[in-house]
Copies of this chain bind each other. A is one copy, B any other.
Amino acid sequence: MLNPQRFFDPNPEIREIAYDLYLTVKDLPLISPHGHVDPRLLAENQPFPDPTELIIIPDHYVYRLLYSQGIPLESLGIPVQDGSAVETDHRKIWQIFADHFYLFAGTPTGIWLSHEFSEVFGITEKLNSANAMQIYDQLQEKLRSSEFLPRRLFERFKIEVLTTTDAASDSLEHHQKIRGSGWKGRVIPCFRPDAVIDIQRSDWRKEIETLSQVAGIEIHSFKNFLRALENRREFFKTMDAVSTDQGVTTPYTHELSSSEAESIFQQALKGKSTEKDAAQFIAHMLMEMARMSIDDGLVMQIHPGSYRNHNRLIFEKFGRDRGCDIPLQTEYTCNLRELLNKFGNDRRFTLVVFTLDESTYSRELAPLAGHYPALKLGAPWWFHDSLEGMIRFRERVTETASIYNTVGFTDDTRAFPSIPARHDLSRRMDANYLARLVARHIIDLEDANRMIRALAYELAKKTYKL
Within 8 A of B (CB), among A366-389: 366-373, 375, 383-384, 386-389
Answer whether residue A102 sits at the interface, using C-beta atoms and an 8 A cutoff.
Answer: yes
Contact with B along A343-362 (1 / 0, CB 8 A): 01101000000001111001
Q: Does A124 contact B (CB under 8 A)?
A: no
Which residues of chain B have C-beta atoms less than 8 A from A371's C-beta?
Answer: 64, 67-68, 310-311, 323-324, 326
**Chain B residues near A313 (CB, 8 Å)?**
341, 345
Decide if A130 is an interface residue (CB 8 Å cutoff).
no
- A340–B362 touching, CB < 8 Å: no
Let me know if A402 and B103 touch, CB within 8 A: yes
- Give the size of the chain A interface in residues (CB under 8 angstroms): 92
Closest B residue to A314 using CB positions: B345
A104 to chain B, nearest CB (A): 7
| Cβ contacts under 8 Å, A13 to chain B | 10
**Among A234-242, A283-291, A407-415, A434-442, the stretch in contact with B:** A434-442
Tell me, in angstroms, the Cα distance from A437 to B8 when the chains sit together. 10
* B10 adjacent to A10 (CB under 8 Å): no
> CA separation between A68 and B337, bound complex, in Å?
16
Q: Contact at A102–B450, with CB atoms within 8 Å? A: yes
| B329 and A363 form a contact (CB under 8 A) | yes
Interface residue? A396 (CB, 8 A): yes
- What is the bound-complex CA distance between A140 and B360, given in angstroms? 41
A398 and B107 within 8 A (CB): yes
State the CA gap A10–B437 with chains docked (Å). 10
Q: Which of A323, A329, A358, A368 gathers most chain B CB within 10 Å?
A: A329
B402 and A383 within 8 A (CB)? no
Give me 17 A-to-B residue pairs in the complex whose CB atoms sit less than 8 angstroms apart, sorted by A's number. Answer: A6-B442, A7-B441, A8-B440, A10-B14, A64-B371, A65-B402, A68-B371, A68-B372, A106-B399, A307-B337, A310-B340, A310-B368, A311-B344, A312-B341, A323-B371, A329-B333, A362-B389
Binding site for B on A (CB under 8 A): 2-3, 5-11, 13-14, 64-65, 67-70, 102-108, 110-111, 126, 307, 310-314, 323-324, 326-329, 331, 333-334, 337, 340-341, 344-345, 347, 356-359, 362-364, 366-373, 375, 383-384, 386-389, 395-396, 398-405, 436-437, 439-444, 446-447, 450-451
